[in-house]
Chain A
Amino acid sequence: MPSLKDIKIQINSVGSTKKITSAMKMVAASKLRRSQEKAEAARPYSSRLEEMLSSLASSAVSGEGIIKLLTGTGNDQNYIVVPVSADRGLCGGFNSSINRETFKLVKSLEGNGKKVQLMPVGKKSRDFFNRVMKDQIIESFVDLNISSTGYDSALNISNKLQELYFDSKFDKCILVFNKFKSAISQEVRQQQLIPLDVSNSEKEEEKDNFSNAIYDYEPDEETILKDLLPKNVSIQIFKVLLESDAGEQGARMAAMDNATRNAGEMIDSLTLKYNRTRQAFITKELIEIISGAESI
Protein backbone atom coordinates (compact mmCIF):
# COMPACT_ATOMS: atom_id res chain seq x y z
CA MET A 1 0.00 0.00 0.00
CA PRO A 2 1.42 3.37 -1.01
CA SER A 3 2.07 5.79 1.78
CA LEU A 4 0.22 9.09 2.06
CA LYS A 5 3.28 10.91 0.86
CA ASP A 6 3.51 8.85 -2.35
CA ILE A 7 -0.08 9.64 -3.26
CA LYS A 8 0.44 13.31 -2.54
CA ILE A 9 3.44 13.37 -4.89
CA GLN A 10 1.48 11.61 -7.58
CA ILE A 11 -1.41 14.07 -7.30
CA ASN A 12 0.98 16.97 -7.63
CA SER A 13 2.69 15.57 -10.69
CA VAL A 14 -0.59 14.81 -12.45
CA GLY A 15 -1.69 18.32 -11.53
CA SER A 16 1.32 19.92 -13.22
CA THR A 17 0.86 17.72 -16.30
CA LYS A 18 -2.70 18.93 -16.43
CA LYS A 19 -1.54 22.51 -16.35
CA ILE A 20 0.80 21.85 -19.27
CA THR A 21 -1.78 20.08 -21.40
CA SER A 22 -4.39 22.73 -20.80
CA ALA A 23 -1.88 25.42 -21.74
CA MET A 24 -1.03 23.51 -24.91
CA LYS A 25 -4.69 23.28 -25.69
CA MET A 26 -5.07 27.04 -25.42
CA VAL A 27 -2.06 27.62 -27.63
CA ALA A 28 -3.32 25.17 -30.24
CA ALA A 29 -6.73 26.81 -30.20
CA SER A 30 -5.32 30.23 -30.93
CA LYS A 31 -2.97 28.85 -33.59
CA LEU A 32 -5.88 27.01 -35.12
CA ARG A 33 -7.77 30.23 -35.54
CA ARG A 34 -4.78 31.79 -37.26
CA SER A 35 -4.20 28.84 -39.59
CA GLN A 36 -7.83 28.77 -40.49
CA GLU A 37 -7.72 32.43 -41.43
CA LYS A 38 -4.69 31.76 -43.60
CA ALA A 39 -6.38 28.87 -45.32
CA GLU A 40 -9.42 31.04 -45.87
CA ALA A 41 -7.30 33.84 -47.34
CA ALA A 42 -5.64 31.50 -49.81
CA ARG A 43 -8.92 30.23 -51.17
CA PRO A 44 -9.78 32.97 -53.69
CA TYR A 45 -6.45 32.59 -55.48
CA SER A 46 -6.52 28.84 -55.77
CA SER A 47 -10.16 28.64 -56.81
CA ARG A 48 -9.64 31.29 -59.50
CA LEU A 49 -6.56 29.52 -60.77
CA GLU A 50 -8.39 26.23 -60.94
CA GLU A 51 -11.22 27.88 -62.81
CA MET A 52 -8.84 29.36 -65.35
CA LEU A 53 -7.07 26.09 -65.71
CA SER A 54 -10.16 24.04 -66.30
CA SER A 55 -11.31 26.42 -69.00
CA LEU A 56 -7.91 26.14 -70.65
CA ALA A 57 -7.25 22.46 -70.11
CA SER A 58 -9.20 21.41 -73.16
CA SER A 59 -6.82 23.36 -75.39
CA ALA A 60 -3.85 21.23 -74.40
CA VAL A 61 -3.14 19.05 -77.37
CA SER A 62 0.29 17.55 -77.39
CA GLY A 63 2.40 16.22 -74.55
CA GLU A 64 5.43 18.40 -75.05
CA GLY A 65 7.40 20.43 -72.50
CA ILE A 66 5.51 22.02 -69.66
CA ILE A 67 2.20 20.75 -70.96
CA LYS A 68 3.33 17.38 -69.63
CA LEU A 69 2.24 18.57 -66.21
CA LEU A 70 -1.28 18.26 -67.51
CA THR A 71 -1.14 15.43 -69.98
CA GLY A 72 1.34 13.18 -68.18
CA THR A 73 4.34 11.36 -69.54
CA GLY A 74 2.36 8.52 -71.01
CA ASN A 75 3.83 6.13 -68.47
CA ASP A 76 2.75 5.20 -65.02
CA GLN A 77 5.65 3.14 -63.86
CA ASN A 78 7.41 5.50 -61.49
CA TYR A 79 5.56 7.10 -58.62
CA ILE A 80 6.53 9.69 -56.12
CA VAL A 81 4.52 9.86 -52.94
CA VAL A 82 4.55 12.97 -50.78
CA PRO A 83 3.23 12.41 -47.24
CA VAL A 84 2.52 15.71 -45.49
CA SER A 85 2.82 15.43 -41.72
CA ALA A 86 3.51 17.81 -38.87
CA ASP A 87 6.90 18.68 -37.47
CA ARG A 88 5.86 18.02 -33.92
CA GLY A 89 4.02 15.34 -32.07
CA LEU A 90 1.45 15.40 -29.28
CA CYS A 91 -1.41 15.76 -31.68
CA GLY A 92 -3.23 12.46 -31.41
CA GLY A 93 -3.37 10.25 -34.45
CA PHE A 94 -2.56 13.07 -36.86
CA ASN A 95 0.92 11.94 -37.88
CA SER A 96 0.52 8.23 -37.47
CA SER A 97 -2.56 8.11 -39.70
CA ILE A 98 -0.62 9.86 -42.46
CA ASN A 99 2.28 7.48 -42.09
CA ARG A 100 0.03 4.44 -42.00
CA GLU A 101 -1.92 5.53 -45.08
CA THR A 102 1.25 6.35 -47.02
CA PHE A 103 2.81 3.04 -46.06
CA LYS A 104 -0.28 1.20 -47.27
CA LEU A 105 -0.32 3.17 -50.53
CA VAL A 106 3.34 2.50 -51.20
CA LYS A 107 2.92 -1.20 -50.52
CA SER A 108 -0.10 -1.48 -52.79
CA LEU A 109 1.65 0.41 -55.61
CA GLU A 110 4.67 -1.80 -55.24
CA GLY A 111 2.37 -4.81 -55.26
CA ASN A 112 1.27 -3.69 -58.72
CA GLY A 113 4.87 -3.63 -59.88
CA LYS A 114 5.37 0.15 -59.74
CA LYS A 115 8.50 1.83 -58.55
CA VAL A 116 7.82 4.20 -55.69
CA GLN A 117 9.91 6.99 -54.25
CA LEU A 118 9.14 9.14 -51.26
CA MET A 119 9.43 12.81 -50.52
CA PRO A 120 8.23 13.30 -46.96
CA VAL A 121 7.22 16.75 -45.76
CA GLY A 122 7.41 17.31 -42.01
CA LYS A 123 9.66 15.80 -39.38
CA LYS A 124 7.29 13.12 -38.22
CA SER A 125 6.90 11.45 -41.59
CA ARG A 126 10.55 11.90 -42.44
CA ASP A 127 11.60 10.14 -39.25
CA PHE A 128 9.11 7.37 -39.80
CA PHE A 129 10.14 6.63 -43.38
CA ASN A 130 13.78 7.01 -42.48
CA ARG A 131 13.25 3.99 -40.29
CA VAL A 132 11.15 1.82 -42.61
CA MET A 133 12.07 2.74 -46.21
CA LYS A 134 15.22 4.77 -45.99
CA ASP A 135 16.50 4.04 -49.49
CA GLN A 136 13.33 5.25 -51.18
CA ILE A 137 13.50 8.78 -49.84
CA ILE A 138 14.90 11.16 -52.41
CA GLU A 139 14.35 14.41 -50.58
CA SER A 140 12.64 15.63 -47.47
CA PHE A 141 11.35 18.96 -46.28
CA VAL A 142 11.18 19.76 -42.60
CA ASP A 143 10.66 22.83 -40.42
CA LEU A 144 8.46 24.46 -43.00
CA ASN A 145 6.58 26.64 -40.57
CA ILE A 146 3.96 27.33 -43.15
CA SER A 147 2.08 29.90 -41.11
CA SER A 148 5.08 32.22 -40.98
CA THR A 149 7.01 31.53 -44.20
CA GLY A 150 3.90 31.18 -46.32
CA TYR A 151 4.01 30.68 -50.02
CA ASP A 152 7.78 30.48 -50.39
CA SER A 153 8.10 27.10 -48.75
CA ALA A 154 5.39 25.71 -51.02
CA LEU A 155 7.35 27.11 -53.93
CA ASN A 156 10.47 25.24 -52.83
CA ILE A 157 8.70 21.90 -52.81
CA SER A 158 7.01 22.60 -56.09
CA ASN A 159 10.27 23.61 -57.79
CA LYS A 160 11.97 20.46 -56.59
CA LEU A 161 9.11 18.29 -57.81
CA GLN A 162 9.05 19.90 -61.22
CA GLU A 163 12.78 19.62 -61.59
CA LEU A 164 12.54 15.90 -60.91
CA TYR A 165 9.56 15.55 -63.19
CA PHE A 166 11.24 17.16 -66.17
CA ASP A 167 14.29 15.01 -65.51
CA SER A 168 11.90 12.09 -66.05
CA LYS A 169 12.51 10.82 -62.54
CA PHE A 170 8.84 10.00 -62.03
CA ASP A 171 5.54 9.84 -63.92
CA LYS A 172 3.00 10.45 -61.23
CA CYS A 173 3.00 12.35 -57.99
CA ILE A 174 0.54 11.68 -55.21
CA LEU A 175 0.10 13.80 -52.10
CA VAL A 176 -1.11 12.21 -48.88
CA PHE A 177 -2.35 14.75 -46.38
CA ASN A 178 -4.86 15.46 -43.66
CA LYS A 179 -7.83 17.37 -44.94
CA PHE A 180 -9.23 19.80 -42.45
CA LYS A 181 -12.87 18.89 -41.90
CA SER A 182 -13.62 20.65 -38.68
CA ALA A 183 -11.67 21.75 -35.64
CA ILE A 184 -11.85 18.27 -34.18
CA SER A 185 -11.79 16.01 -37.19
CA GLN A 186 -9.37 15.49 -40.03
CA GLU A 187 -9.56 13.09 -42.89
CA VAL A 188 -6.62 11.50 -44.67
CA ARG A 189 -6.83 12.27 -48.36
CA GLN A 190 -4.83 11.39 -51.42
CA GLN A 191 -4.51 13.81 -54.25
CA GLN A 192 -2.82 13.29 -57.55
CA LEU A 193 -0.71 16.35 -58.20
CA ILE A 194 1.13 15.47 -61.40
CA PRO A 195 -0.28 14.98 -63.97
CA LEU A 196 -3.06 17.29 -62.96
CA ASP A 197 -6.43 15.76 -62.33
CA VAL A 198 -8.74 18.35 -63.88
CA SER A 199 -11.98 16.45 -63.42
CA ASN A 200 -11.39 16.56 -59.69
CA SER A 201 -10.90 20.29 -59.34
CA GLU A 202 -13.82 21.17 -61.54
CA LYS A 203 -16.38 19.98 -59.05
CA GLU A 204 -15.56 22.54 -56.41
CA GLU A 205 -15.72 25.64 -58.53
CA GLU A 206 -18.68 27.94 -58.48
CA LYS A 207 -19.88 28.93 -61.88
CA ASP A 208 -20.80 32.50 -62.62
CA ASN A 209 -22.41 33.91 -65.73
CA PHE A 210 -19.20 34.32 -67.59
CA SER A 211 -17.32 31.14 -66.88
CA ASN A 212 -18.73 29.35 -69.87
CA ALA A 213 -18.23 32.22 -72.26
CA ILE A 214 -15.47 32.42 -74.81
CA TYR A 215 -12.39 34.36 -73.88
CA ASP A 216 -9.76 36.08 -75.92
CA TYR A 217 -6.38 34.84 -74.90
CA GLU A 218 -3.32 37.00 -74.71
CA PRO A 219 -0.72 36.10 -75.95
CA ASP A 220 -2.37 32.72 -76.73
CA GLU A 221 -3.84 29.74 -74.96
CA GLU A 222 -0.72 27.67 -74.97
CA THR A 223 1.52 30.38 -73.52
CA ILE A 224 -0.94 31.06 -70.73
CA LEU A 225 -1.25 27.39 -70.01
CA LYS A 226 2.50 27.08 -69.82
CA ASP A 227 2.62 29.85 -67.24
CA LEU A 228 -0.37 28.54 -65.41
CA LEU A 229 0.56 24.89 -64.93
CA PRO A 230 3.71 25.33 -62.82
CA LYS A 231 1.91 27.92 -60.70
CA ASN A 232 -0.92 25.53 -60.20
CA VAL A 233 1.40 22.87 -58.82
CA SER A 234 2.76 25.36 -56.29
CA ILE A 235 -0.62 26.60 -55.27
CA GLN A 236 -1.97 23.10 -54.81
CA ILE A 237 0.94 22.31 -52.53
CA PHE A 238 0.41 25.57 -50.69
CA LYS A 239 -3.23 24.74 -50.18
CA VAL A 240 -2.40 21.29 -48.87
CA LEU A 241 0.23 22.67 -46.50
CA LEU A 242 -2.19 25.21 -45.06
CA GLU A 243 -4.89 22.62 -44.76
CA SER A 244 -2.53 20.25 -42.98
CA ASP A 245 -1.33 23.01 -40.67
CA ALA A 246 -4.87 23.83 -39.63
CA GLY A 247 -5.55 20.12 -39.21
CA GLU A 248 -2.50 19.72 -37.00
CA GLN A 249 -3.59 22.48 -34.66
CA GLY A 250 -7.09 21.05 -34.54
CA ALA A 251 -5.80 17.59 -33.79
CA ARG A 252 -3.51 18.90 -31.09
CA MET A 253 -6.31 20.87 -29.53
CA ALA A 254 -8.52 17.79 -29.39
CA ALA A 255 -5.72 15.59 -28.06
CA MET A 256 -4.79 18.08 -25.37
CA ASP A 257 -8.40 18.56 -24.40
CA ASN A 258 -8.66 14.82 -23.86
CA ALA A 259 -5.44 14.74 -21.90
CA THR A 260 -6.60 17.56 -19.67
CA ARG A 261 -9.85 15.80 -18.98
CA ASN A 262 -8.09 12.53 -18.23
CA ALA A 263 -5.73 14.28 -15.86
CA GLY A 264 -8.71 15.78 -14.07
CA GLU A 265 -10.30 12.37 -13.63
CA MET A 266 -7.03 10.93 -12.42
CA ILE A 267 -6.65 13.67 -9.81
CA ASP A 268 -10.20 13.01 -8.57
CA SER A 269 -9.60 9.30 -8.10
CA LEU A 270 -6.21 9.87 -6.52
CA THR A 271 -7.67 12.39 -4.09
CA LEU A 272 -10.33 9.88 -3.12
CA LYS A 273 -7.65 7.28 -2.53
CA TYR A 274 -5.63 9.78 -0.50
CA ASN A 275 -8.57 10.59 1.76
CA ARG A 276 -9.43 6.94 2.25
CA THR A 277 -5.88 6.05 3.19
CA ARG A 278 -5.71 8.95 5.59
CA GLN A 279 -8.98 7.92 7.18
CA ALA A 280 -7.72 4.34 7.45
CA PHE A 281 -4.63 5.53 9.31
CA ILE A 282 -6.68 7.61 11.72
CA THR A 283 -9.03 4.72 12.40
CA LYS A 284 -6.11 2.39 12.95
CA GLU A 285 -4.48 4.78 15.41
CA LEU A 286 -7.76 5.26 17.26
CA ILE A 287 -8.20 1.50 17.59
CA GLU A 288 -4.66 1.23 18.90
CA ILE A 289 -5.27 3.96 21.49
CA ILE A 290 -8.61 2.52 22.61
CA SER A 291 -7.33 -1.02 22.88
CA GLY A 292 -4.28 0.29 24.73
CA ALA A 293 -6.53 2.16 27.18
CA GLU A 294 -8.71 -0.90 27.71
CA SER A 295 -5.81 -3.11 28.60
CA ILE A 296 -4.70 -0.90 31.51
Chain B
Amino acid sequence: MATISFDLVSPENLIFNDDVGTIIVPGKDGDLGILPGHSQVMSSLRPGRVMVYSEDKNLVKSFFVSGGFAEINPEKCIVLAESVVELNSLDKSSIEKEIEELGSNESKESEEQLLIAKAKLEAITVSFYDKI
Protein backbone atom coordinates (compact mmCIF):
# COMPACT_ATOMS: atom_id res chain seq x y z
CA MET B 1 0.00 0.00 0.00
CA ALA B 2 1.12 3.49 -0.74
CA THR B 3 1.86 6.21 1.74
CA ILE B 4 1.09 9.90 1.79
CA SER B 5 3.41 12.47 3.26
CA PHE B 6 1.90 14.41 6.10
CA ASP B 7 3.06 17.72 7.60
CA LEU B 8 1.52 19.23 10.69
CA VAL B 9 2.75 22.79 11.02
CA SER B 10 2.20 25.37 13.73
CA PRO B 11 3.51 28.95 13.58
CA GLU B 12 6.27 28.07 16.00
CA ASN B 13 7.50 24.83 14.51
CA LEU B 14 7.01 21.78 12.36
CA ILE B 15 5.28 19.30 14.64
CA PHE B 16 4.93 16.22 12.52
CA ASN B 17 6.49 15.24 9.25
CA ASP B 18 6.43 11.69 8.00
CA ASP B 19 4.95 9.30 5.45
CA VAL B 20 1.76 7.80 6.80
CA GLY B 21 -1.13 5.61 5.70
CA THR B 22 -4.23 7.58 6.60
CA ILE B 23 -5.03 10.91 8.21
CA ILE B 24 -8.34 12.16 9.53
CA VAL B 25 -8.72 15.93 9.79
CA PRO B 26 -11.67 17.92 11.17
CA GLY B 27 -12.87 19.85 8.12
CA LYS B 28 -15.24 22.73 8.63
CA ASP B 29 -18.09 20.86 6.96
CA GLY B 30 -17.21 17.47 8.41
CA ASP B 31 -14.27 15.18 8.97
CA LEU B 32 -12.06 14.29 6.06
CA GLY B 33 -10.35 10.94 5.79
CA ILE B 34 -7.26 11.27 3.68
CA LEU B 35 -5.66 8.35 1.93
CA PRO B 36 -2.83 8.35 -0.61
CA GLY B 37 -4.08 9.61 -3.96
CA HIS B 38 -6.69 11.89 -2.47
CA SER B 39 -8.05 14.54 -4.82
CA GLN B 40 -6.83 18.09 -4.44
CA VAL B 41 -8.68 19.84 -1.69
CA MET B 42 -8.10 22.95 0.32
CA SER B 43 -10.20 23.10 3.43
CA SER B 44 -10.44 25.18 6.54
CA LEU B 45 -10.66 23.27 9.79
CA ARG B 46 -12.80 23.45 12.88
CA PRO B 47 -11.38 22.77 16.35
CA GLY B 48 -11.03 19.03 16.69
CA ARG B 49 -8.89 15.94 16.39
CA VAL B 50 -6.26 15.22 13.80
CA MET B 51 -5.63 11.48 13.74
CA VAL B 52 -2.65 9.91 12.08
CA TYR B 53 -2.55 6.21 11.14
CA SER B 54 0.20 4.01 9.82
CA GLU B 55 -0.11 2.00 6.61
CA ASP B 56 -1.60 -0.97 8.46
CA LYS B 57 -4.25 1.24 10.06
CA ASN B 58 -2.76 1.55 13.50
CA LEU B 59 -3.14 4.87 15.25
CA VAL B 60 0.28 6.53 15.32
CA LYS B 61 -0.46 9.92 16.83
CA SER B 62 -3.45 12.02 17.67
CA PHE B 63 -3.49 15.78 18.01
CA PHE B 64 -5.93 18.47 18.96
CA VAL B 65 -5.95 21.54 16.69
CA SER B 66 -7.79 24.77 17.42
CA GLY B 67 -8.68 25.29 13.78
CA GLY B 68 -6.58 26.05 10.74
CA PHE B 69 -6.24 24.86 7.17
CA ALA B 70 -5.51 21.69 5.30
CA GLU B 71 -4.02 21.51 1.85
CA ILE B 72 -4.32 18.10 0.28
CA ASN B 73 -2.98 16.72 -2.97
CA PRO B 74 -2.45 13.11 -4.09
CA GLU B 75 1.04 12.89 -2.58
CA LYS B 76 0.97 15.26 0.30
CA CYS B 77 -1.22 16.58 3.06
CA ILE B 78 -0.32 19.73 4.94
CA VAL B 79 -2.20 20.91 8.00
CA LEU B 80 -1.58 24.44 9.22
CA ALA B 81 -2.88 25.01 12.72
CA GLU B 82 -2.41 27.87 15.13
CA SER B 83 -2.28 25.76 18.22
CA VAL B 84 -1.52 22.08 18.29
CA VAL B 85 -1.36 19.77 21.30
CA GLU B 86 -0.96 16.06 21.51
CA LEU B 87 -4.20 14.50 22.68
CA ASN B 88 -2.71 12.41 25.47
CA SER B 89 -1.05 15.47 27.01
CA LEU B 90 -4.44 17.08 27.64
CA ASP B 91 -5.84 16.94 31.13
CA LYS B 92 -9.58 16.66 31.57
CA SER B 93 -9.95 18.47 34.89
CA SER B 94 -7.93 21.51 33.76
CA ILE B 95 -10.04 21.86 30.63
CA GLU B 96 -13.23 21.67 32.68
CA LYS B 97 -11.86 24.41 34.90
CA GLU B 98 -11.03 26.50 31.83
CA ILE B 99 -14.56 26.07 30.49
CA GLU B 100 -15.98 27.18 33.81
CA GLU B 101 -13.82 30.29 33.89
CA LEU B 102 -14.57 31.20 30.31
CA GLY B 103 -18.27 30.63 30.78
CA SER B 104 -18.46 33.42 33.35
CA ASN B 105 -16.67 35.82 31.05
CA GLU B 106 -18.80 37.33 28.34
CA SER B 107 -16.45 39.01 25.91
CA LYS B 108 -16.39 37.96 22.29
CA GLU B 109 -12.90 36.64 22.59
CA SER B 110 -13.68 34.29 25.44
CA GLU B 111 -16.67 33.00 23.55
CA GLU B 112 -14.31 31.79 20.86
CA GLN B 113 -11.99 30.32 23.49
CA LEU B 114 -14.93 28.57 25.05
CA LEU B 115 -15.82 26.90 21.78
CA ILE B 116 -12.26 25.68 21.45
CA ALA B 117 -12.16 24.45 25.04
CA LYS B 118 -15.44 22.59 24.58
CA ALA B 119 -14.13 20.96 21.44
CA LYS B 120 -11.03 20.01 23.38
CA LEU B 121 -13.09 18.32 26.05
CA GLU B 122 -15.06 16.46 23.43
CA ALA B 123 -11.86 15.42 21.71
CA ILE B 124 -10.52 13.65 24.79
CA THR B 125 -13.78 12.03 25.80
CA VAL B 126 -14.84 10.51 22.50
CA SER B 127 -13.15 7.37 21.26
CA PHE B 128 -14.38 6.87 17.70
CA TYR B 129 -11.55 6.95 15.16
CA ASP B 130 -9.35 5.22 17.70
CA LYS B 131 -9.58 2.24 15.38
CA ILE B 132 -10.35 2.35 11.70
CB interface residues, A 216-263, toward B, < 8 Å: 216-219, 223-224, 227-228, 231, 234-235, 238
Q: Which of A42, A154, A215, A235 is the one whose CB lies under 8 Å from B13?
A: A42
Judge whether A213 is part of the interface by a CB distance below 8 angstroms: yes
Tally chain A residues at the interface, Cβ within 8 Å.
30
Residues of chain A lying within 8 A (CB to CB) of residue B41: 215-218
Judge whether A31 is part of the interface by a CB distance below 8 angstroms: no
Per-residue CB contact flags for chain B residues 20-40 toward chain A (1 = under 8 Å, else 0) read 000000011100100000011
Bound: A238/B13 CA distance, A:
12
A45-B80, A218-B41 given; name 19 further pairs at CB < 8 Å.
A38-B12, A44-B9, A45-B10, A48-B9, A48-B71, A48-B78, A150-B11, A151-B12, A151-B82, A210-B73, A210-B74, A214-B40, A216-B42, A218-B44, A219-B28, A219-B44, A224-B43, A227-B69, A228-B69
A52-B71, A223-B28 as given contacts; A215 in contact with B11, CB under 8 Å:
no
Bound: A44/B75 CA distance, A:
18
B13 A210 Cβ-Cβ under 8 A: no
Bound: A210/B77 CA distance, A:
12
Please name the 10 residue pairs, one residue from A and one from B, whose CB atoms are nearest each other, closest first: A218-B43, A41-B13, A210-B73, A215-B42, A151-B11, A227-B44, A45-B9, A216-B41, A215-B40, A224-B44
Residues of chain B lying within 8 A (CB to CB) of residue A49: 69, 80
Bound: A219/B27 CA distance, A:
9
A218 B29 Cβ-Cβ under 8 A: yes
Bound: A48/B67 CA distance, A:
16
Residues of chain A lying within 8 A (CB to CB) of residue B75: 210
A218 B14 Cβ-Cβ under 8 A: no
A-B contact pairs, 14 of them (CB 8 A): A41-B12, A45-B11, A48-B78, A150-B12, A151-B10, A210-B40, A210-B73, A216-B39, A216-B40, A216-B42, A217-B42, A218-B29, A219-B29, A224-B43
* Chain A residues packing against B (C-beta within 8 Å): 38, 41-42, 44-46, 48-49, 52, 55-56, 150-151, 154, 210, 213-219, 223-224, 227-228, 231, 234-235, 238
* Chain B residues packing against A (C-beta within 8 Å): 7, 9-14, 27-29, 32, 39-44, 67, 69, 71, 73-76, 78, 80, 82
Bound: A216/B71 CA distance, A:
10
A151-B12, A219-B28 as given contacts; A52 in contact with B7, CB under 8 Å:
no
Bound: A183/B10 CA distance, A:
26
Residues of chain B lying within 8 A (CB to CB) of residue A238: 11
Bound: A41/B11 CA distance, A:
8
Bound: A38/B80 CA distance, A:
17
Tell me the smallest distance from the CB of A222 to a CB of chain B, in Å. Answer: 11
Bound: A277/B131 CA distance, A:
87
